[in-house]
A = this chain, B = another copy of it.
């Protein structure tokens, strides 16, 4: 231990942290039948994993396409849908030896990048170029690559990246690993977790003696906070970034996950282009993923990023850097391609696809609505509306006595709270402290993915637990 990379030791990642490890141990004890827990199953609401936590069945079209790419003799069967057959043939035509088993171009298969560019163009109304698109192993991989580019490796005055608080812990983990400075800006909880420009200025200003500010991360729709930023808010963020010459990292992996009427998703690219000069020349990256949306294909680790307005020499550097890992997984690329280019009306697979989509989407909307209502009905809990993404991030009042007790055990108060919640009810959520939060506030993050009936059980368990906790520690 004395010899390992000290930056690795600093890395923290709560979504798979100690509470999740404990949940696994409890599950194992339950499975083995030797336990005294007052519950007989663990409800996992710690991770945005649709197929695992929501018992959600994969989308037929996506899996037929991927199976056809995997084992092409399938597409010659008479019951293989002809529209999907054509898509399989098109994809394999650009694979070396017509096999998904070949390395792809480092940036990813050209047909997939063409489809992504088309998707972006239709979304934003501005052109997108396939040579600006980079397929990667999940958005995480792409985010790490882009942050890497911004590092100066100066231990005295390292590069600084602005990250929201609360944030998705991949960011703090990556910045720790790279030895960068984390410039934390607080999201405005009282204003539906919007970004406040004065707060951005404050955070940036205070950071300048510690680092060289280089970029700003915005997660929209928000993880763990579930907000969808307004167009006006995005415009102001773009102006702020331009003023301070910050590279924008737009984490837009939840772009298809918006629920509340009126909470429309605007991409940073669109806003930047709409604003015209000088904004439409700003450098930025936008990240998307096969893991999220409503299809939730996390296991494929499909993802992409678009590099916008990047200097051509810098792009050559990116291409060289990623080529040393050869390419991202071809199956993940195919998955991303399937998601981004679904069956169109009139095509053979369309009706089933449409039905499956509307079933899943309507369940997600229902749960997004339900979860904040339920949390808000509990005394001492306040939960912003889940406008988008897959999470609720309710704020919990923790009695002072419990706070002191947690501190005496060297635990964050909400970690103590969430561990108790797990041990007493079997529900696994992630403490707010794992995402960072404003000092003095306490939260937990739950996904909205468990099935509706489990979700209701979960919140009822929570209500009962919370009341008892308040009683015990008052």
Contacts and interface: CB of A to CB of B under 8 A. Distances in A.
Contact of A137 (B16, B67, B329): B329
Given A99-B52, A300-B331, A5 B170 contact: no
Contact of A11 (B49, B321, B331): B321
Given A4-B317, A332-B329, A324 B153 contact: no
Given A13-B324, A74-B74, 6 more contacts: A13-B323, A70-B70, A101-B300, A141-B325, A144-B325, A148-B177
Interface of A: 1, 3-9, 11-13, 15-17, 47, 49-58, 63-64, 66-67, 70-71, 74, 95-97, 99-104, 106, 137-138, 140-141, 144, 148-153, 155, 169-170, 173-174, 177, 179, 214, 291, 296-301, 311, 313-314, 317, 320-321, 323-332
Given A298-B102, A326-B138, A66 B58 contact: no
Contact of A16 (B16, B153, B296, B326): B326
Contacts of A8: 148-149, 317, 321
Contacts of A330: 299-301
Contacts of A169: 324
Contact of A52 (B7, B57, B96): B96
B71 A67 contact: yes
A101 B299 contact: yes
A134 to B, nearest CB: 14
Ranked nearest first, the 8 interchain pairs of A and B with the lowest CB-CB distance are A52-B96, A299-B330, A67-B71, A52-B102, A51-B99, A16-B323, A331-B331, A173-B324
Contacts of A313: 1
A179 B158 CA distance: 14
A174 B97 CA distance: 29
A206 B1 CA distance: 27
Given A55-B97, A153-B5, A325-B138, A102 B49 contact: yes
A5 B318 CA distance: 11
Contacts of A320: 11-13, 17
A142 to B, nearest CB: 11
Contact of A96 (B15, B51, B151, B300): B51
A299 B63 contact: no
Contacts of A17: 320, 323
A285 to B, nearest CB: 13
22 contacts: A4-B317, A5-B152, A6-B153, A8-B148, A11-B324, A13-B320, A13-B323, A16-B106, A16-B323, A49-B102, A52-B96, A52-B99, A58-B99, A74-B74, A102-B298, A104-B299, A137-B137, A169-B324, A174-B324, A299-B329, A300-B330, A329-B331
B152 A6 contact: yes
Given A152-B5, A314-B4, A331-B331, A101 B170 contact: no
Contacts of A4: 149-150, 314, 317
Contact of A56 (B54, B97, B140, B155): B97
Contacts of A153: 5-7, 155, 179
A120 B63 CA distance: 32
Contacts of A177: 148, 321, 324
A96 B323 contact: no
A167 to B, nearest CB: 13
A305 B7 CA distance: 22
A1 to B, nearest CB: 5
Given A148-B5, A153-B7, A170 B324 contact: yes
Contacts of A64: 71
A14 to B, nearest CB: 10
A70 B84 CA distance: 15
B97 A52 contact: yes
Contacts of A329: 137, 299-301, 329, 331-332
